[in-house]
């Protein structure tokens, strides 16, 4: 039996990866999936990665952006936004 990784754990790793490159590079969903498959080797699969991306987007921690392709990013704060 192969020890699998949870969707939440993969989502957290993806969030950290997106946060680290925010403003420097845009990551596509496939970039995140490939990175997680490499990090977790046989413990994660594409279905787990897809569910992790959905969890991040549904929770509002990340958003899809489109600029010549789809990217996953942390939501931007507007300059005039009141906190």
Sequence spans of domains, the chain: 7-73
| Residue 41: other Cβ atoms inside 10 A | 10
pLDDT digits 0-9 by tens, 46-63: 999 999 999 999 999 999
pLDDT band, very low/low/confident/very high, at 7 (cuts 50, 70, 90):
very high
The fraction of the chain above a pLDDT of 70, given in percent, is 90
Indicate if the pLDDT at residue 82 is higher than 90.
no
Q: Judge: domain 7-73, CATH 2.130.10.10.
A: no
pLDDT digits 0-9 by tens, 13-30: 999 999 999 989 999 999
The fraction of the chain above a pLDDT of 90, given in percent, is 78
């Amino acid at each position: 039996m192969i020890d699998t990784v949870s969707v939440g754990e993969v989502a957290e790793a993806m969030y950290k990866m997106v946060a680290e490159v925010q403003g420097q590079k845009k990551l596509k969903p496939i970039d995140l999936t490939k990175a997680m498959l490499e990090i977790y080797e046989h413990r994660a699969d594409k279905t787990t990665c897809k569910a992790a991306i959905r969890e991040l987007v549904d929770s509002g921690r990340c958003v899809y952006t489109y600029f010549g392709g789809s990217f996953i990013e942390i939501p931007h704060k507007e300059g005039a936004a009141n906190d």
